Structure 1
Amino acid sequence: MEKRHEELQQELLAKYDAESAYRTQLGKFAAVVTLLGISLTLFHLYTAFRGPYVSIIQGAIHVGTALSLIFILYPAKRSLLKKGGVPVYDFVLALAAIFANFYIVFHYERITTKAIILGFTSLDIAVATIGILLLLEATRRSVGMPIVIIAALAMSYGLWGKGIPYFGHAGFSWKVLSTELFFSSNAIFGIPIQISSTYIFLFLFFGVMLAKTGISQFFNDLSFAATGRLTGGTAKAAVTASALQGMVTGSSVANTVGSGSFTIPMMKRAGFKPEFAAATEASASTGGQIMPPIMGAAAFIMAEYTGIPYNEIMIIAIIPALLYFIGIYFGTHFEAKKHGILGLPKEKLPRFEGLFKRMDLLLPLLTIIGLLLVGYTPTYAALWGIAAALLVSSFRKDTRLSFRELLASLEQGARTALSVIAACATAGIIVGIVVLTGLGGKIAGGILELAGGSFFLILFFTMIACIVLGMGLPTTANYVVTATMAAPALMEFGVPMIAAHMFVFYFGIVADITPPVCLAAYAGAGIAQANPMKTGFIAVKLAIAAFIIPYVFVFNPILLLEGESLWFLIVPLITALIGMASISAGIMGYLIRTASVFERSLLVLAGLMLVYPEGILVSLIGLVIMLAVGFFQYRKDRKLEVSVG
């Protein structure tokens, strides 16, 4: 039964998540995948312990090994997934990927010194061309076509951008462009891959260790014990569990399937409609990528781009992340009250007494958070977090890993990182072109000109661009592109750097639940056997906080702990929380009783006035409107009770 459940999970992931559409019947190549996967993970553990190699060598080993694994694991077309074994041409492509990237390792001195002065050879250009083409094909297989199209358009712009009005540039030959993209530390092996090959891989492996040792299941049990008995307890537990799981996962789709296969059936049994159950899981799982400490791995790149230490970004992100999840929590509460859905009986929930005896399983997560907060590097924190997971899991038979399971975890760590590595490397092409041609400044100027000087329109156009890009790009790659192109436009208008980067980060993430693409909603709907488009629209309603909060912290950066002392945070935080409750009540159509269209409109208006950061008077008016609606609903409810009595 458990094996069939895992098979259904994998089928669902392969359908909606490109990174999970890999071969399961590898035949004689299974040993090759195991060897390469274990070697890649051990390489990162070794370099984390002794210190990384020079960035381009570290990146070349990281990318070359990952691409070879992708060509063996991912078929050229999904229709070939059912066929067993690996075609010879894919094995040849895997060898070519290793050759092209390890060519950099063996020719590093010449490529970075003599070749820059004397020029690159014909063989160098051929290797660079092969390396770029192999990267794009591997990315197409493991991530999807949209990011490949954007990278191809970027390279075309680099080659033939001379005649383009306004955005034109001098143009580059293929010799210059290919070698700049493949042999420098400004493009494919730029900041995204440098962070991927040091921090991100280790944190993804940490997530694998939590799953393999059963510590992730402890998070679920803790969530259900804490909230399962409340009104609509199954949905609230799903939100809490997804927030905890999201701390250490980098994929909203994978998180939706992993948590949702357990939570969605429970929500349906409790009385929630299939679309609502799927939407709750999808919106909460998507929000997991903005939840510290890991935040979908993009936070590490944000630290590099902004120059703000990662441990500070982790703290800065706490309030917006909590507001997001509290907004979903309110939505599930009002929906449950509207339909009279109660919590689970006590006997069906995990007992706190048993969970307290297993609280040591939180040690790995607390180790990472603690080390980051006191100022240690993410590499050091991740390494000790992995060690702590191995340590605490060894104390119990049900969490202890055998030697074979440990080897499987090492292999799985590499598999989990493949799509992230491909996406970061391909995003590096886009960033390289933007920097090389000066496109970033021109796009920022174009947005400013299009908005006609209107600050709100600049924010709105930037939001639309981030959502559209996010529909086709993974979170990390989307952030890399938008941080390069869109964030500078906000900063030119005086938005603080961290607020601009958080703004584009948030809207890139919510693309996973925004119709028409909404991949996380599709995955949740697949589990719930629900209408996927309807699920997407409900997920947007639940996650409305994600569409409002970024505007709030741009207008009032105090929510990002910018500027004023913490005392000035109290009032904006309280009004934001009350405002989120009012907006959720209006959207879900219930406060004290079912709301009319007029009452819903007033509640949404009141909520927007409460979260509006400029002036206490506006917030007070919003509070009065919300209380007035609540009072009239209470009076109406009492009259109905008297009438029935």
Structure 2
Amino acid sequence: MAESAIEADPKVAGAASRWADLATPAALLALAWSAAQIAFAIWPTIDTLSQRALHVSFAIALAFAMLASKAGPTQRWIDNLLAILALAPGLYIVLNSDYLTSGRIIGLDPVRPLDYIFGLLVIALLFIASYRVMGLGLAIFAMVFVAYFFIGPYLPGELAHRYSGLERFIDSQYLSLDGLYGVPVGVSVSTVFYFVLFAAIYDAFGGGRLIIELAMALTGRRVGGPAKAAVVASGLLGMVSGSAVANVMSTGIFTIPLMRHSGYSARFAGGVEAAASTGAQLVPPVMGAAAFIMADFLRIPYQTIVLAAIAPSIAYYLALLLMVDLEARRRKVAPISAEREPIRDVLIQRGHLLLPLLWLAYRIIVGFPVEMAAIEASAATVVIGMLRPATRQPAIALAASLAVAAERAVTVALPCALAGIVVAVISFTGLGTKFTGLMITLSGGSMAVLLALTMLASLVLGAGMPTTSAYIMAAVLLAPSLAAIGVPSLAAHFFIFYFAILSMVTPPVALSAYAAAAITGGSASSTGWQAFALSLPGFIIPFAIIIHPGLLLMGSPLSLMWGFGNILLGLIGIAIAVVGWLFRPLRPIERAIFAVLGLVNVLPGLWVTIASALILALAGAAIWWTAPREAGAVAGDQDDRARSL
């Protein structure tokens, strides 16, 4: 829940009330960070090490400043002091950039006393800030790897390594681009921040409101309209924010009360919002920081990731919409009132704000640098938003959006910095190779067993962690073992990427479900299990990607159509089994049959697909045929079955 307190804070509207809101230490730091990022874009000749060092220092300093704004007098003084100290290591790198980037050889030149001081300072403050902002899990996880770096030479057998010592630690972690300022922070600096900035500006000019109103207009008059609106709104908003918890807090405050008013339980309303918001990280063109890091890991253009994600994300949301529809029919949930604005009126008032989104998607797909696409979309939002009175905003709103962007970027930059430390330890000590061998040994060479182990490990690594950190950890430790048994790199990373995301709705730690429960007022545990059940199709999709790589556009159009048809049939069966209703409530044995048919449909083989699809159709027809005869018998227990799910 610490993640949601900062990441999902909707400050754009509140900050627009008074200029004084931007005079606080946290707001001034946030504006300074955004200004620095804009400078990086304008003057790309600023050396990479300086950019990354300032990025991390600003993130740590802003985290302490934000914490200070909510603390008591004594703690506020301490946090503000830590915020000032956090800026020092980054400024030290900038002031010594010529020596560090040109006059020094990593691993050969000695580490100077000030290098030790500022290196240890930034790493210590990073751990403290990460613990206080995001909880203990990620901080402890990174500490384990730091401890392994130092005690590794004294461990027995295969776990031992020779790369140790404080000088080597500071040299590799603080004075180079391989550790603290490695690839994860590089992606946060050069790409993610600009998409977070676009999301904040877009929301300031009413883009988030447009998405919610469009979702309501598209689905409100249909069965289960409020829940379908939550699914559509979260999916569309995910194209901008790429954050599960932020999506829950943004769309949930509108859609959850509507669902509750329409007759959905608090548990189901929260579960729908959490599942839909979590899946939003799968929706192109903006899929969160982890997707950008995936492109960097694989050394492929980001548009390849975007195109590969289209079919799986469509399948996920179709399955979720089907489950919502079935649940609504079972509960006899009425559509939203017809007094809601029609699509035409929504488009007349705010439809012009779709243009920046379309421009962003177009620029990414054609291969334009993604950070420049985000900057262009941000500028287009300001220009286009000012054209119409309904979306025109004062200067304070734009300034506030710059501050909000930096505040939201904290929860990306901090885990990226910790992940960089872990990745460097794994690389320098050779732990990754050893872990790959261990995974293959445990699986006995069986791909099915290895995939199951990888799924479990990804979910465990992601428990309580932001998606970015979960993906990086799993990609470094687990992806090589999948590649070793012949899984294509893109499929292997998408497999891990999906489960890193789904860890947000996997009990016992399901952050997006907990955020939804905070809005519904329901039980966090029961909301988490409901979100997990609604997300079960998402647990099938990664396995389908391995079986049908055509889903990722790896192959001919025919392979894509074949794979998508297979997975769609499978998800239909699983959705029916999860909800337990098809024309009438289903008995346990009937639900089990649909679940098995759903799983079998995903398997390869023409005759397997034909047979399972035929049985699925016959089972559906049989239930439809018996529904009128059993209506009277099941009417009495229908509500009980609904409440039990």
TM-score, structure 2 normalization: 0.93
Q: Using the alignment, how far apart are the partners of 1:104 and 1:47 within structure 2?
A: 16
Q: Using the alignment, how far apart are the partners of 2:372 and 2:29 within structure 1?
A: 24
Match of 1:364 in 2: 356
The code of the aligned residue for 1:631 comes to A
SS state of the match for residue 174, structure 2? helix
Match of 1:633 in 2: 623
Match of 2:474 in 1: 482
Which of 168, 175, 185 pairs up with 1:183?
A: 175
Which of 400, 407, 423 pairs up with 1:408?
A: 400
Q: Using the alignment, how far apart are the partners of 2:451 and 2:240 within structure 1?
A: 30
Q: Using the alignment, how far apart are the partners of 2:423 and 2:548 within structure 1?
A: 30
Which of 597, 601, 604 pairs up with 1:606?
A: 597
Which of 80, 84, 93 pairs up with 1:95?
A: 84
Match of 2:508 in 1: 516
Match of 2:261 in 1: 269
Q: Is the 8 A contact 2:22 2:400 kept in 1?
A: no
The CA deviation at 1:456 is 1.0
Which of 572, 588, 591 pairs up with 1:581?
A: 572
Structure 2 runs not aligned, ≥5 long: 635-645
Which of 34, 37, 40 pairs up with 1:41?
A: 34
Match of 2:550 in 1: 558
Flag the 1:366–1:120 CA change in 2: closer, same or farther, 3 A. same
Question: Deviations along 1:408-448, whole A, 9 cap, x unmatched?
Answer: 11111111111211111111000010111111111111111
The code of the aligned residue for 1:606 comes to L
Question: Deviations along 1:525-551, whole A, 9 cap, x unmatched?
Answer: 121121221111111111111110000
Q: Using the alignment, how far apart are the partners of 1:537 and 1:184 within structure 2?
A: 44
The CA deviation at 1:204 is 0.4
Worse-matched range after superposition: 165-174 or 84-93: 84-93
Flag the 1:89–1:344 CA change in 2: closer, same or farther, 3 A. closer
Flag the 1:173–1:39 CA change in 2: closer, same or farther, 3 A. same
Flag the 1:643–1:472 CA change in 2: closer, same or farther, 3 A. closer
Flag the 1:107–1:82 CA change in 2: closer, same or farther, 3 A. closer
Which of 436, 439, 446 pairs up with 2:438?
A: 446
Q: Using the alignment, how far apart are the partners of 2:557 and 2:328 within structure 1?
A: 35
The code of the aligned residue for 2:606 comes to I
Q: Using the alignment, how far apart are the partners of 1:380 and 1:351 within structure 2?
A: 35
The code of the aligned residue for 1:492 comes to A
SS state of the match for residue 159, structure 2? coil
Q: Using the alignment, how far apart are the partners of 1:16 and 1:53 within structure 2?
A: 33
Q: Is the 8 A contact 2:249 2:516 kept in 1?
A: yes
The CA deviation at 1:643 is 11
Match of 1:306 in 2: 298
Q: What does 1:147-296 correspond to in 2, within 5 Å?
A: 147-162=138-153, 163-296=155-288
Q: Using the alignment, how far apart are the partners of 2:335 and 2:245 within structure 1?
A: 27
Q: Using the alignment, how far apart are the partners of 1:144 and 1:183 within structure 2?
A: 27
The CA deviation at 1:84 is 5.7
The code of the aligned residue for 1:322 comes to I
Q: Using the alignment, how far apart are the partners of 2:558 and 2:454 within structure 1?
A: 31
SS state of the match for residue 169, structure 1? coil
Does residue 620 (structure 1) correspond to residue 582 (structure 2)? The answer is no
**Alignment: residue pair count:** 624
Q: Using the alignment, how far apart are the partners of 1:544 and 1:41 within structure 2?
A: 39
Flag the 1:607–1:469 CA change in 2: closer, same or farther, 3 A. same
The CA deviation at 1:568 is 2.6
The code of the aligned residue for 1:97 comes to A
Q: Using the alignment, how far apart are the partners of 1:170 and 1:425 within structure 2?
A: 24
The CA deviation at 1:608 is 1.2
The code of the aligned residue for 1:62 comes to H
Worse-matched range after superposition: 431-440 or 355-364: 355-364
Q: Using the alignment, how far apart are the partners of 1:392 and 1:22 within structure 2?
A: 22
Does residue 423 (structure 1) correspond to residue 423 (structure 2)? The answer is no
The CA deviation at 1:143 is 2.1
SS state of the match for residue 353, structure 2? helix
Counting aligned pairs with the same residue, the percent is 34
The code of the aligned residue for 2:158 comes to Y
Q: Using the alignment, how far apart are the partners of 2:444 and 2:196 within structure 1?
A: 43
Question: Deviations along 1:142-170, whole A, 9 cap, x unmatched?
Answer: 22211111111111111111214322211
Match of 2:47 in 1: 54
Aligned-pair RMSD on alpha carbons? Answer: 2.3
Q: Using the alignment, how far apart are the partners of 1:634 and 1:288 within structure 2?
A: 33
Q: Is the 8 A contact 1:204 1:416 kept in 2?
A: yes
Which of 53, 76, 95 pairs up with 1:106?
A: 95
In the TM superposition, structure 1's runs of 4+ consecutive aligned residues that sit over 4 Å from their partners are 13-25, 27-30, 640-644
Q: Using the alignment, how far apart are the partners of 1:608 and 1:240 within structure 2?
A: 26
Q: Using the alignment, how far apart are the partners of 1:372 and 1:309 within structure 2?
A: 9
